[in-house]
């Protein structure tokens, strides 16, 4: 069972990462700008560090050089002995783990929060990706962002599959104490769209404002929120040799946006022979990442989700800091969770 993620001390170090995939240009160019002028990221109570996650892939405007960086943050890869033959992204994952983590130790050295910025070619709009509903802080942050931008649909995707033993997270934000992914689309790979760029910039600013409110002692009440929970993926029809045998059905592709209900028996693929392939599930699902360009190699035509309304408990105000004396005789604030055992 996942432990509840609810910080009991102020956030002190936050990272905003872009270019985890080098051809998702909103995050690449925002981080490049912030590396030159980070002033808009700073808040009174904590520091924010911009990080270009995959500089080699960003320089080449490719998703990755050797392998997907955002699947390389398992403890097995991070702790394995380095060799000269390691893929570039595995080496880079270890570097990021040292910078933002380390993940395996669970020590206080890790950054308090990582906000990882991504684009998708799918018609996803604004999608906030959280590991699970147990992440109370990220759920409240998502709710805050939804309230700040009511004119734009902002959906929350719980990416951990529904099963008794959730797999270890292998994404960049997992190296920190907590984190979340911002996924905006549609935007083609290697392209920069002004509306998507501006929306991402505004979302980051609002997320940092929420963290500042939390640090200043704001309490956030309980609420109910609609979310989409991962049920797994659907692959394209394939030949015996594993090649594509069909494409996403025009009826599914023509949906106004992802997250539209898919009923059992509805067409999902059209074979090159002209034959329709229909959804064989027994319940309504809500497809997302439909026809995402980067997922062809992963044998994913779309992800199936279920739509839920969940109750999120309140996020209490931080307790007032204790005043303790140090050996020099001066006093300073220490939050209860920061005290030694």
In eight-state DSSP terms, residue 250 is H
Contact in structure between 167 and 159 (CB atoms under 8 Å):
no
β-pairing verdict for 267-271 and 276-278: antiparallel
Question: How far apart are alpha carbons 91 and 243 in whole angstroms?
Answer: 31
* 299 assigned to a ligand binding site: no
CA-closest candidate to residue 294, choices 207, 188, 201: 188
Three-class secondary structure of residue 207 per DSSP: helix
Contact in structure between 87 and 152 (CB atoms under 8 Å):
no
Backbone angles phi, psi at 305, to 5 degrees: -130, 160
- State how far Cα 147 lies from the chain centre: 19
- Counting Cα atoms < 13 Å in the Cβ hemisphere of 57 gives 29
183 noted as active-site residue: yes
- State how far Cα 317 lies from the chain centre: 25
CA-closest candidate to residue 137, choices 154, 171, 172, 112: 112
Token pair belonging to 295:
């997922």
* 21 assigned to a ligand binding site: yes
Contact in structure between 146 and 209 (CB atoms under 8 Å):
no
The single residue of 183, 224, 275, 292 carrying the catalytic annotation is 183
DSSP-based helix, strand, coil % in the chain, nearest 5: 30, 25, 45
Contact in structure between 115 and 180 (CB atoms under 8 Å):
yes
Backbone angles phi, psi at 182, to 5 degrees: -105, 120
- State how far Cα 257 lies from the chain centre: 20
Catalytic residue numbers, as ranges? 183
Binding-site sequence positions for Zn(2+): 21, 24, 118
Binding-site sequence positions: 21, 24, 118
């Amino acid at each position: 069972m996942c432990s509840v993620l609810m910080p009991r001390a102020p956030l002190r170090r936050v990272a905003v990462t872009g270019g985890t995939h080098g051809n998702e240009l909103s995050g690449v160019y925002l981080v490049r700008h912030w590396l030159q002028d980070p002033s808009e990221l700073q808040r009174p109570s904590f520091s924010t560090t911009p990080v270009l996650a995959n500089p080699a892939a960003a320089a080449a405007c490719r998703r990755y050089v050797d392998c997907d960086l955002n699947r390389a943050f398992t403890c097995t890869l991070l702790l394995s002995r380095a060799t000269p033959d390691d893929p570039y992204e595995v080496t880079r994952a270890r570097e990021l783990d040292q910078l933002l983590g380390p993940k395996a130790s669970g020590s206080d050295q890790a950054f308090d929060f990582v906000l990882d910025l991504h684009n998708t070619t799918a018609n996803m709009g604004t999608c906030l990706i959280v590991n699970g509903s147990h992440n109370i802080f990220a759920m409240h942050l998502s709710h805050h962002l939804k309230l700040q931008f009511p004119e734009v649909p902002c959906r929350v995707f719980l990416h951990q599959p529904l099963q008794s033993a959730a797999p270890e997270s292998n994404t960049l934000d997992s190296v920190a104490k907590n984190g979340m992914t911002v996924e905006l689309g549609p935007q083609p790979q290697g392209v920069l769209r002004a509306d998507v760029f501006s929306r991402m910039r505004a979302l980051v600013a609002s997320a940092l404002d929420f963290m500042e409110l939390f640090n200043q002692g704001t309490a956030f009440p309980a609420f109910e929120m609609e979310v989409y929970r991962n049920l797994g993926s659907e692959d394209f029809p394939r030949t015996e040799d594993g090649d594509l045998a069909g494409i996403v059905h025009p009826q599914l592709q023509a949906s106004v946006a992802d997250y539209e209900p898919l009923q059992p028996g509805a067409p999902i693929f059209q074979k090159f022979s002209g034959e329709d392939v229909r959804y064989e599930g027994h319940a309504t699902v809500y497809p997302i990442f439909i026809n995402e360009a980067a997922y062809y190699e992963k044998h994913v035509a779309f992800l199936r989700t279920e739509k839920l309304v969940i109750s999120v408990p309140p996020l209490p105000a931080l307790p007032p800091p204790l005043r303790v004396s140090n050996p020099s005789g001066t006093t300073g604030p220490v939050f209860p969770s920061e005290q030694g055992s």
